[in-house]
Amino acid sequence: MMNIIIVSKMLGSPKKICLGDPKVAAGIGGVVLAAVGLAFGAGFATRGADGASTAEVAHLKAELQAQRAEVATAREDAQREINAVAARVGELQAQSNRLNALGERLTHDAKIGGDEFNFDKVPGVGGDEKVEDIPAVDLMKGLNELDAKFKDSGDKLSVLESMMYSEQLQLAALPTGRPTNTYITSGFGTRTDPIRGGVGHHMGIDFDANIGDPVHAAAGGVVLFAGVKSGFGNVVEVDHGNGYTTLYGHNSRLLVRAGDIVRSGQTLAKAGSTGRSTGPHVHFEVHVNGRPVNPRQFLDRVAS
């Protein structure tokens, strides 16, 4: 026979249960076993829940780490694209600066409006259309096309500048200045020889002058010869480039030497009557590729 004593404050005093009856003992034993089973089951369930929770947390951490890696990769890719766009924009800015500088020279030299060559000035535009985000690939394509247009425009402006510069050189080489601001006393071509009489060919034109009057260069150039030549006395010859040369004869004194660089209007000599001459004057000749031509076609339109 088995006795179970139960101690509890709720009961007041200890209670004894006698298990002498087999049926009572079996029932109570079953209850005890059930309670123990529930306790063990709850423990295993708790442990299983804890294990499942740990695995889920580990899985979430792995996913978060993977997402962070994807974000970092996307950020690096985006930064590379931004850097590439920035580099292209920098190149385009350099092209724009070059075109602006070239445009400024052209507008100054050609005396035309400067707005057409000002690539920093944004022209006014407008319209009502649907706007969408532009993909990076399309943006780079557009920048490359713009770069190609800039290069093409730059090449065309360079050719234009070269042509203008060449034209300016040709104009600068033309002997359009007058050697002296006096009237013409003898023209170019056939005339009566002033010393021997008869008919002769005058290869230049003569300007009235007093001894000591300044004799000016008709255009800028390099002095080819400064000395005495038969029939012309003291002579200065100037090479203006592009096949143009000029000659100034009968001078009383020379102020330049061979090899000197002279500018248009510079005083080359003092007028005189040296050589084959009837009196003070300035003999002026223009040669194109070695052939004497009439200087009147180059002179300014001052009445002679």
Give the model confidence (pLDDT) of 126-166 as tens digits.
666 676 666 767 777 777 877 777 777 677 667 666 666 66
Helix axes 22-110, 136-173, angle to 10 degrees: 10
State residue 171's pLDDT score: 73
pLDDT at 273 over 80: yes
State residue 151's pLDDT score: 75
State residue 86's pLDDT score: 73
State residue 302's pLDDT score: 44
State residue 11's pLDDT score: 47
Please tell me the distance from the alpha carbon of residue 90 to that of residue 111, in angstroms, as a whole number: 30
pLDDT at 196 over 80: no
Predicted TM-score (pTM) of the model is 0.49
pLDDT band at 66 (very low <50, low <70, confident <90, very high): confident
Match 């089973």 to its residue by tokens: 37
pLDDT at 260 over 60: yes
Please say whether the structural domain 184-297 has been given the CATH code 2.70.70.10: yes
Ranges of each domain in the chain:
3-74, 87-118+134-173, 184-297
Please tell me the distance from the alpha carbon of residue 241 to that of residue 170, in angstroms, as a whole number: 8
Of all residues in the chain, the percent with pLDDT exceeding 70 is 61
Average pLDDT estimate for 238-255: 95
State residue 264's pLDDT score: 92
pLDDT band at 50 (very low <50, low <70, confident <90, very high): low
